[in-house]
Amino acid sequence: MAFAGPLRAADDPVLAKVNGAEIKKSDVTMAEEELGPSLAQMDPATKDENVLSFLIDMKIVAKAAEDKKVADSDEFKKRMAFARNRLLMDSLLAQEGKAATTDDAMKKVYEEASKQITGEQEVRARHILVETEDEAKAVKAELDKGADFADLAKKKSKDPGSADGGDLGFFTKEQMVPEFSAVAFTLEPGKISDPVKSQFGWHIIKVEEKRNRKAPEFDQVKPQIEQYVTRKAQADYVAKLRTEAKVERLDQPAADASKDAKPADSKMAPPAKK
């Protein structure tokens, strides 16, 4: 245990001193977290150096501001109070969000979402896209005589996917224009449609197979689920605090003010910091 102090000091070295005030490695790390998006375009190789330079300038200017009694102004005090309250809010909501994102909670959300996803049908189809109805009818006539759909798609279709024999892969109803989906989802596998008009031209559709949509693996969507659970927990916590607080809106009539005192929605909760 006697080595704990020196080890911590070695892990958090002093990088600079400004008029005797230390700037440590942990200060640079915290500043990078706070500055976040503004550093996104910065070269990683020089980021630490630039942030350290910024902190040095900040301490120099802050000392000059103290000497000029800037902190004594009412405007500064208001801004300090706002910044303090915002930091307190962000910190507490981050704690609430982190506490809520247990594996059990996230898997429960995943399982509920999976039930809805797996009930949705997907179709795998090919199509041949041409410009006119006459062209579409001519293509259909060739298919009726036994022409191979994939080969004909490569020769006739103006769709960029023609190189794959017109294969569109699996899709849901919402992923295609309504006219196309209406036909594709009523055709039986192996069947070929009559000409179908859409905003893109005229289609001949062949359904290859149908299946119920598969839910993605938990690990694939874990980041999105974690974000959802975090934000919901934060919003619920703010809503709970609102119900316990006495909120008086003096800028509105009493009836309107009582309506406004309803719990805030999820937009009130800022992104959680990890």
Q: 195, 129 in Cβ contact below 8 A?
A: no
pLDDT the model gives residue 140: 97
Sequence-distant (6+) residues with CB within 8 A of 222 are: 106
* 125 closest CA partner among 47, 213, 184: 184
pLDDT of 273 over the 70 cut: no
256-269 pLDDT tens trace: 555 555 554 444 44
Q: How far apart are CA 137 and CA 149, in angstroms?
A: 14
Q: Which two tokens stand for residue 134?
A: 């006459």
pLDDT of 193 over the 50 cut: yes
Query: Per 3-state DSSP, what percentage of the chain is helix, strand, and coil (rounded to 5)?
Result: 60, 15, 25
Query: SS3 of 254, please?
Result: helix
88-145 pLDDT tens trace: 999 999 999 999 999 999 999 999 888 877 668 899 999 999 999 999 999 999 999 9
pLDDT the model gives residue 5: 45
* Residue extents of the structural domains in the chain: 1-71, 73-119+215-274, 120-212
The values of phi and psi at residue 264, to 5°, are -70, 155
pLDDT of 84 over the 60 cut: yes
Q: Which two tokens stand for residue 257?
A: 């003010």
Q: Which two tokens stand for residue 145?
A: 């005589």
181-196 average pLDDT score: 97
* 98 closest CA partner among 237, 265, 264, 245: 237
Q: Which two tokens stand for residue 94?
A: 């981050």
Q: Which fold has domain 120-212?
A: Chitinase A; domain 3 (3.10.50)
215-260 pLDDT tens trace: 889 999 999 999 999 999 999 999 999 999 999 988 877 665 555 5
Q: How far apart are CA 64 and CA 60, in angstroms?
A: 6
3-10 average pLDDT score: 50
Sequence-distant (6+) residues with CB within 8 A of 95 are: none
| Global pTM value | 0.57
